[in-house]
Amino acid sequence: MEVIAWNQLYRMTDRQERRPLTRATLRRIAAFARPHRARLAAFLAVSVVMAGLAVVSPVLAGRVVDTIVRGGPVGVVVGIAALIAALALAEAGLGLVGRWLSAGIGEGLILDLRTAVFDHVQRMPIAFFTRTRTGALVSRLNNDVIGAQRAFTDVLSSVVGNLVTLVLTLSVMVSLSWQITLLALVLLPVFVLPARRMGVRIARLRREAADHNAAMGNQMVERFSAPGATLVKLYGRPARESAEFAARARRVRDIGVRTAMAQTAFVTALTTVSALALALVYGLGGFYALRGQLDAGSVVALALLLTRLYSPLTALASARVDVMGALVSFERVFEVLDLKPLIADRPGARAVPDGPVSVEFDHVSFGYPSADKVSLASLEEVAALDSRGGVEVLHDVSFTAEPGQMVALVGSSGAGKSTIAQLIPRLYDVDSGAVRLGGVDVRDLSADSIRETLGMVTQDGHLFHDTIRANLLFARPDASEEEIWDALRRARLAPLVESLPDGLDTVVGERGYRLSGGERQRLTIARLLLARPRVVILDEATASLDSTNEAAVQAALAEALEGRTAVVIAHRLSTIRAADLILVVEDGRIVERGGHAELLAQGGRYAELYRTQFAEEDDSSISAAA
């Protein structure tokens, strides 16, 4: 009975927030379950048979006692004992079969759900990722998917198995003695009601502990990342950091002690109640047996059946709560699946035309989408989504980069240069006007074709926590070893990779932090060279580099830009003097356009930026010399 008490306690405290499920949700759940329906039916059948066997054994044990009391025959006792052993073996075998079926259903469902969510998230726009907390999204792929799986394995089998066990157990107990059965049912509230009250209390303690654990986790994630650890080393106070962490850990410890004591008190109380109920069964059953109104074997059978009565009764008393608690995970998964990607291929989407590719902006206006179109409050971990959005940030932008030309975008921070760059690979869709590649609107092109045509190098030079080889092959998985080394040589990175002990198999670390900034940038350029795009976009690729690294990266960029159409966002104006067309962007508008000498001669915004930047560079050179 102590084991039953512990099981019911955990069932009553391990619940999620409950919301009513709609028929549409149930139909979608059925659609996910349909591929597993044959295995699911077999699993339920095994659960029913096991529930029946669980009731037969106590009855046979009572028959053994009756046979012994009557003095034999020995063959009957041995035969019943052999039957009990056979039933035990059958129950064990069915348990293995049931677990195999359950695991197959559960893991198959997890695979289906995770794949569906992962594939769907892959299609979401960049705005989705800029708003969503990564941890909350990962939780949907892990915790909620596993919670949804419980609806088909743990909860469903529990409801069916407990219902069959309860019906059979009550039927047998009533046939043996309705008085003792009534006594067992009268004592049920003493078992169930404390479980509900204590379950609420322990659930509250667990939520509090989860909040403190989450706070500790956030502190660890922020402090243990390379940028966070650097910041702590530079500005943090180790004693204060340790004190904050220890305070949270102590609160978790205190809650753990309180939870353990509450659980132990609960289980002790219910075990005592169960023992008293068992004593009453033996007392009343013994009384009837001595008066000849009940067989001794029936008393033993009733006592054994009593231990199998409370568990299904308690479980079924909260079956609806358990089912809703498990199935609500489906709704949380469906929340993500119901977010419609803003960027999707149109029917009949075509490929970018062969040959050199032009880039054209035709009277483009654009505003970033509002949060309710791309995100969920639960994924941002806020009470309500930010309703702001849709404010136009680009206004009537028009220009053309002819095949093989370089167009440079310059201007103040926040002027809209990066936004223009993000519209070319269709990371967002324009609100009006059109962006064209090779004369075709990007909305009429397939996403795969755009990816094959475009290559982009951003300022942060992001790399995965993987080997140099894997980071390069991400752009072109079928590249040969010779092509990889050729890209590294052209990116001025081959000598460095050759000097590393593991060469191409060197792990670059999270976000590539085991490499210097210049090395990271050159590796991203090597990745671009390996992809061999026809259009190159450079978003301030050298903005954060020193002069030495900038020179190396510029040499690598010269290789990347050769013979390709290029759109370059320049931080240092000296790097774009040779551009075929320079566009000055301010407040989302192109305010000046022309060549370097032409714009300087005009004495406008470009000339002002140029004079200001070179004055700053001259001051920096003088300070460095001093």
Domain end residue (candidates: 302, 321, 337)? 337
- Percentage helix, strand, coil, to 5, in the chain? 65, 10, 25
In a domain, 46, yes or no: yes
What Rg do the C-alpha atoms of the chain give, in angstroms? 35
Helix (H, G, I), strand (E, B) or coil at 72: coil
- 4 and 311 in contact (C-beta within 8 Å)? yes
Residues 306 and 398 in one domain: no
Residues 327 and 454 in one domain: no
Going through 206-286 in order, the beta strands assigned E by DSSP cover none
Residues 153 and 234 in one domain: yes
In a domain, 346, yes or no: no
Domain end residue (candidates: 295, 320, 337)? 337
- 236 and 222 in contact (C-beta within 8 Å)? no
Residues 138 and 279 in one domain: yes
Please give the angle made by the CA atoms of 213, 337 and 13, to the nearest 5 degrees.
35
Segment (H or E) for 319: helix 319-337
Segment (H or E) for 538: strand 535-539
Would you give the DSSP letter of residue 324? Answer: H
Per the structure, the complete domain to which residue 195 belongs is given by 2-337
- Which ranges of 70-155 does DSSP label H, i.e. alpha helix? 74-122, 126-131, 134-139, 145-150
Q: How far apart (Å, rounded) are the C-alpha atoms in residues 67 and 65?
A: 5
In the prediction, which pLDDT does 190 show? 65
Averages of pLDDT over runs of 10 residues in the chain (626 residues) are 52 48 74 86 87 84 83 84 90 88 83 86 82 74 74 70 82 85 73 63 70 69 68 69 83 84 73 75 84 84 79 66 66 82 87 92 91 74 63 92 92 89 91 94 92 84 86 89 89 88 86 78 86 87 60 70 85 78 93 91 88 58 37
Give me the CATH number covering residue 590.
Answer: 3.40.50.300
In a domain, 277, yes or no: yes
Q: How far apart (Å, rounded) are the C-alpha atoms in residues 32 and 552?
A: 53
In the prediction, which pLDDT does 621 show? 40
In the prediction, which pLDDT does 403 show? 92
Q: Among positive and negative, which fits the CA dihedral 333, 336, 338, 343?
A: negative
Residues with Cβ < 8 Å from 11, sequence gap 6 or more?
315, 318, 322
In the prediction, which pLDDT does 587 show? 92
Helix (H, G, I), strand (E, B) or coil at 493: coil
For residue 347, cis peptide bond before it (omega within 30 degrees of 0): no
266 CB neighbour count, 10 Å cutoff: 23
- 349 and 437 in contact (C-beta within 8 Å)? no
Residues 333 and 452 in one domain: no
In the prediction, which pLDDT does 31 show? 84
In a domain, 358, yes or no: no
- What are the contacts of 59-64 at 24+ separation with CB within 8 A? 59/172, 59/301, 59/305, 60/84, 60/87, 61/297, 61/300, 61/301, 61/304, 62/176, 62/295, 62/297, 62/298, 62/299, 62/300, 62/301, 62/302, 62/304, 63/297, 64/297
In a domain, 364, yes or no: no
In the prediction, which pLDDT does 445 show? 93
In a domain, 324, yes or no: yes
Residues 455 and 576 in one domain: yes
- 19 and 331 in contact (C-beta within 8 Å)? yes
Segment (H or E) for 535: strand 535-539
Residues 328 and 408 in one domain: no
- 30 and 330 in contact (C-beta within 8 Å)? no
Residues 307 and 448 in one domain: no
Give me the CATH number covering residue 212.
Answer: 1.20.1560.10
Q: How far apart (Å, rounded) are the C-alpha atoms in residues 352 and 359?
A: 11
How many domains, the chain?
A: 2
What DSSP line would sit under 29-52, residue for residue? HHHHHGGGHHHHHHHHHHHHHHHH
Residues 75 and 223 in one domain: yes
In the prediction, which pLDDT does 359 show? 94
Domain end residue (candidates: 337, 363, 381)? 337
Residues 429 and 329 in one domain: no
Residues 414 and 329 in one domain: no
What DSSP line would sit under 365-413, residue for residue? EEEPPPHHHH--HHHHTSSS-------EEEEEEEEEE-TT-EEEEEEST
Predicted TM-score (pTM) of this structure = 0.68
In a domain, 121, yes or no: yes
193 CB neighbour count, 10 Å cutoff: 11
Residues 504 and 434 in one domain: yes
Q: How far apart (Å, rounded) are the C-alpha atoms in residues 525 and 553?
A: 8
CA-wise closest residue to 300 among 292, 289, 309, 291:
289
Residue 291 CA to its chain's centroid (Å): 66
In a domain, 381, yes or no: no
